[in-house]
Amino acid sequence: MLESRVDGTIVIGSADSEIHRTLGDIITSDFRKNVLSVTETSDLLLEILDKRVDLTIIDVNLKGLPTTKAIQILKKCRPRMPVVVISDDYTVATGSSIMELGVFYYMYKPIDLDSFKEIVDSALRKKARDEAQERR
């Protein structure tokens, strides 16, 4: 039997174990990506600095630094890496301030899993295009 190949890594940062389980299962089965699950922003940032990460998914309820600060640091370290933010905060002000930081997508809870798959697929395609263009 051939072992299915895992290609790349996605980091999920959330304090919610259900998000880790549900989204992690989708990512490994549908996208054949390695999943790193973290519960604090400091661990998320260390993983980003330490590994080649294709996509970062951040829950606004992640423990540690405020989400906006974590995104600012991520964007300084890995400006081309797509970032998807998951939130239960439906205020326009929060959504606008996070989108202004250059995130790829701002997604509301409860997470629609079909939409999630489309967003991840789109983010990974964008990352691949950006990398191909960079090599030219």
Query: In which order are the strands placed within the sheet that holds 55-59?
Result: 34-38, 9-13, 55-59, 83-87, 105-108
* Predicted confidence band of residue 86 (pLDDT cuts 50, 70, 90): very high
22 pLDDT higher than 80: yes
Inter-residue long-range contacts of 123-132, CB under 8 Å, 24+ positions, other chains counted? 123/55, 123/82, 123/84, 124/8, 124/31, 124/54, 124/55, 124/82, 126/82, 127/54, 127/55, 127/80, 127/81, 127/82, 130/80, 131/80
pLDDT at residue 1 in the model? 37
Considering the chain, what is the average pLDDT of its residues? 92
Query: 57 is written with which tokens?
Result: 């998914």
Give per-residue pLDDT as tens, 46-84. Answer: 999 999 999 999 999 999 999 999 999 999 999 999 999
Q: What is the arithmetic mean of pLDDT over 20-48?
A: 96
pLDDT at residue 3 in the model? 45
pLDDT at residue 31 in the model? 94
Regarding the domain delimited by 9-123, which CATH topology (the fold level of the hierarchy) does it fall under?
Rossmann fold (3.40.50)
pLDDT at residue 132 in the model? 86
* Predicted confidence band of residue 5 (pLDDT cuts 50, 70, 90): low
Query: 84 is written with which tokens?
Result: 């998807």
